[in-house]
Structure 1
Amino acid sequence: MPAVMRAAATAERAGVPAVAIGGAGFEGMGRAVGASLGVGHVPIVSYPGVILTDPTEVFRAKMREQVAPAVVDALVAGAGPVEAEAEADEHEPTAIVARGDLDAVTEHFEVRGWTDGLPIVPPTPERVAAFLAHTRRDPDSSLGELAPDLRAATVRSVAVNGVMAGCRPQDMPVLLAVVECVADPVFRVQDAGSTPGWEPLVVLSGPVVERLGFHSGTGALRVGRRANTAVGRFLRLYLRNVAGLRIPPGETDQGAIASTFHVALAEDDAAVRALGWPSFRADRGFGDADSVVTVQSVVAVSAPIYSGGESAADHLEALTTIFGNAIGPWAYTGLEFGAFHPLLVLGPAVARALAGFGVDKDALRAHLGDHMRVPVRQLQACAWNVGSTSFDLDAMVAAGELDERYAGHDPDRLVPMVPRAADIGIVLAGNPSRNQSRGFVQNHVQGVPVSRRIEEGSQ
């Protein structure tokens, strides 16, 4: 639906009246995206059913008998005046919105959709002030505007949601950096409610990990350490309460079956130093003395990748096979949209073994980039099933968008899943006594990795 509304916006700006056509159930998302694009007046006509599961004849009949007449009626009727609806729950930033005991406050917040389904810590003025004491920024200053609700991401709102998520006041600089990442237009937060159901993953690298007690070892990404869990929960709360990404009946989040995790990932700096490898923050262009937050989308997670053997090839084969299995035909999205940043969380023991065989980060990326391959036939099938019926690998090669590795006419030929090996992220974390790693699949231009330095001096 976001793409349809962007097309409608282009038509309207060219002076051509538009009608948006989308699947049933996407009206709420369409209206929210339309409002963010300045075309909230564009009529929306819903296809009655799921287009890609209807046989061709059924599809044609519905288009002929129901959709086409509705489009004509909408064009004839015109858009009409648009009246802004007042938000019943909008209030002044420092207003007291509820009074009572914990149960009463929790109920008040839950009824208004301000929670993630779990009890929250009441954001009292005293608690919010304790968070604001850990930054020099003006509480009412904005970190950017977040779609689809087009609200300003203020420093105060970061503190409020940080309190609610169970974060600690000293986490405030981390939370500010997290919001700066998702507020960057490159991140495309407006697409965070798309149907693949991707989730934002927070990755921390640098001295802040040890100083604030973030966990990077056994059970990484498991709930249990307050710092990791609360910061991860904070981002989902913030996207709900400020950006406005809510599951139905709010309808702005249309993730079909989401892949949820509310735990921040922290890099094991000691393991990185012991190997002499560049840290994840260094890979992202920062210095070793910096503490850095990176946020990226994750649409799928691999099975556990256990690797071992007498040579580097033994480890590389396991990493390539299982990480590649997770990416699979979904790699078409990176080829079509021109951005793809899979993330490998490499177990410290596996990293030590690879280093002992003379394989560093660049060599690992190069191997994965060259050996993680998928048949063209599978890419095309996945693209069609998702609705990208115009996906054409040969045309992209002819246009110079893909190199000669993708050329050919055999639909069963194997092509690289990741066009640029340098775009594969590698973070060392997890149980240092086990030979396990995991792969995380990123969702192309939606949620590309964005990094920000944490303002350490403000604490």
Structure 2
Amino acid sequence: MMRAAATAERAGVPAVAIGGAGFEGMGRAVGRSLGVGHVPIVSYPGVILTDPTEVFRQKMREQVAPAVVEALVAGATTVTEEPDESWDHGPTDVVARGDLDAITEVFEARGWTDGLPIVPPTPERVAAFLDHTRRDPGDVLGVLAPDQREATVRSVAVNGVMAGCRPADLPVLLAIVECVADPVFRVQDAGSTPGWEPLVVLSGPVVERLGFHSGTGAMRVGRRANTAVGRFLRLYLRNVAGLRIPPGQTDQGAIASTWHVALAEDDEAVRSLGWPSFRVDRGFDDGDSVVTVQSVVAVSAPIYSGGETAADHLDALTTIFGNAIGPWAYTGLEFGAFHPLLVLGPAVARALAGFGVDKDGLRAHLAEHMRIPVRQLQACAWNVGSTSFDLDASAEAGELDERYAGTDPDRLVPMVSRAADIGIVLAGNASRNQSRGFVQNHVQGVPVSRRIEEESS
């Protein structure tokens, strides 16, 4: 709603934003990031898509429309939150003193934790982190919405300490923040209602050098490197980007999901097959250490595959990965971006390679055979609120290829329009025939990769 208001305001047209009840806080945060924090917001009393049509019309006629007129007549008034000056501090100020319990209480009261105890970021601990980079502590890596705060090297170190990371992890953390600070990642949408979670994927020599785990239980908490680095990103989005659940109101994930684990690629498994690594797939050299961050809105059930032919494995992967993507595939078709990620078990990869199926062959099969009825896509789009989505019209206009053409609402169309957009990472239990699929959220949180800088000597 605020993006439309910003467009109108830039055209010289006074705007009033209309949104659902409960979204005003998020709307104001987005408005500030767009420079239109002064635009009045009128809330619809209820949930539009669960109100019957007549109820919706009555509320719009009797409550929303009069409120919009009143706001336009009154004119825009800037709404600001008075800062608590007692919380103001510089980047190197000591903000609290005391034992662990006292520090924890202060940080919890100020909303600086993720609900779990943190490691106090003492000057000594922060300095130990900063020893692992050539960058100046004040260097700005980007500006993060919705709070429009500068992401600095020092703030990365501070939050890294808090998350329980090790000083040697700092180059990884800096690369992670560079990923989410890239405008194409759209970090400002990380608080949207689907409740997607950013997933960190590590590939390259850094995995072994820093002790990241890529084998059995690859996405389970338990290995400090994976767990703390994954936790760091959630803390950083909260403390610097400003994405907080209510009462902060800037994170509106309706139910949402959270994990604090970074995924690491099993380089040994990749080398044994002669397959390109995930970092090479992302355009880097095989000798590079690379971090990639992307959104994940859903995870598949465990995908067990086996049999005497490649088709036996491919059918299982297609069915269960496709089930996870399901009608949500409409988002990729509507917005033109979709990057589902398959975490392929090393044993399954070895079996496929034995049948002559490589990464490109696997991608091509999934893209062609993961299909869904158009009727389901349209229904999902409507329920989410994308009521203008029309696959038939997009196909007729040439925005989608011939596989999507037709008029039968029950025809099956591909969930993923471009095979190359499917990511594949080898990881997990090498003694089991299990894989998993991770569903990405279209243009929100597209995969962004950065090379991890070498530490200073």
Shift of 1:272: 0.1
* Structure 1 residues 316-373: Cα deviation after superposition (integer angstroms, max 9, x where no partner): 0000000000000000000001100000000000000000000000000000000000
Describe how 1:372-391 pairs up with structure 2 within 5 A: 372-391=370-389
2:446 to 445, 448, 453: 448
Paired position in structure 2 for 1:143: 141
Shift of 1:82: 5.3
Counting aligned pairs with the same residue, the percent is 89
1:25 matched to 2:22: yes
Judging changes above 3 Å, is the alpha-carbon distance between structure 1 residues 214 and 83 closer, same or farther for their aligned structure 2 residues? Answer: closer
1:282 matched to 2:280: yes
Given that 2:298 and 2:438 are in contact with CA atoms closer than 8 Å, whether structure 1 keeps it comes out as yes
Shift of 1:395: 1.5
Paired position in structure 1 for 2:60: 63
- Partners of 1:320 and 1:82 in 2: how far apart? 50
Shift of 1:377: 0.1
* Structure 1 residues 215-268: Cα deviation after superposition (integer angstroms, max 9, x where no partner): 000000100000000000000000000000000000000000112111000000
1:206 matched to 2:204: yes
1:86 matched to 2:98: no
Letter matched to residue 21 of structure 1? I
Paired position in structure 2 for 1:49: 46
Shift of 1:408: 0.2
Paired position in structure 1 for 2:414: 416
- Partners of 1:90 and 1:285 in 2: how far apart? 42
- Partners of 2:179 and 2:78 in 1: how far apart? 36
SS of the residue aligned with 1:22?
strand
Given that 2:275 and 2:359 are in contact with CA atoms closer than 8 Å, whether structure 1 keeps it comes out as yes
- Partners of 2:185 and 2:148 in 1: how far apart? 15
2:252 to 240, 251, 254: 254
- Partners of 2:96 and 2:243 in 1: how far apart? 23
Moved beyond 6 Å, runs of 4+: none
Letter matched to residue 20 of structure 1? A
Describe how 1:41-440 pairs up with structure 2 within 5 A: 41-81=38-78, 85-88=82-85, 89-440=87-438
Given that 2:363 and 2:419 are in contact with CA atoms closer than 8 Å, whether structure 1 keeps it comes out as yes
- Partners of 2:272 and 2:322 in 1: how far apart? 28
Tell me how large the CA RMSD over aligned residues is. Answer: 0.8
- Partners of 1:27 and 1:404 in 2: how far apart? 42
Q: How many residues end up aligned between the 2 structures?
A: 456
Shift of 1:174: 0.2
Shift of 1:305: 0.1
Shift of 1:400: 2.0
Shift of 1:84: 6.5
Given that 1:173 and 1:458 are in contact with CA atoms closer than 8 Å, whether structure 2 keeps it comes out as no
Given that 2:39 and 2:77 are in contact with CA atoms closer than 8 Å, whether structure 1 keeps it comes out as no
- Partners of 1:231 and 1:278 in 2: how far apart? 25
Given that 2:40 and 2:77 are in contact with CA atoms closer than 8 Å, whether structure 1 keeps it comes out as no
Structure 1 regions of 5+ residues with no counterpart?
none
Letter matched to residue 11 of structure 1? A
SS of the residue aligned with 1:456?
coil
- Partners of 2:367 and 2:80 in 1: how far apart? 52
Paired position in structure 2 for 1:7: 4
TM-score normalised to structure 1 length: 0.98
- Partners of 2:416 and 2:79 in 1: how far apart? 45
- Partners of 1:40 and 1:249 in 2: how far apart? 19
- Partners of 1:45 and 1:443 in 2: how far apart? 28
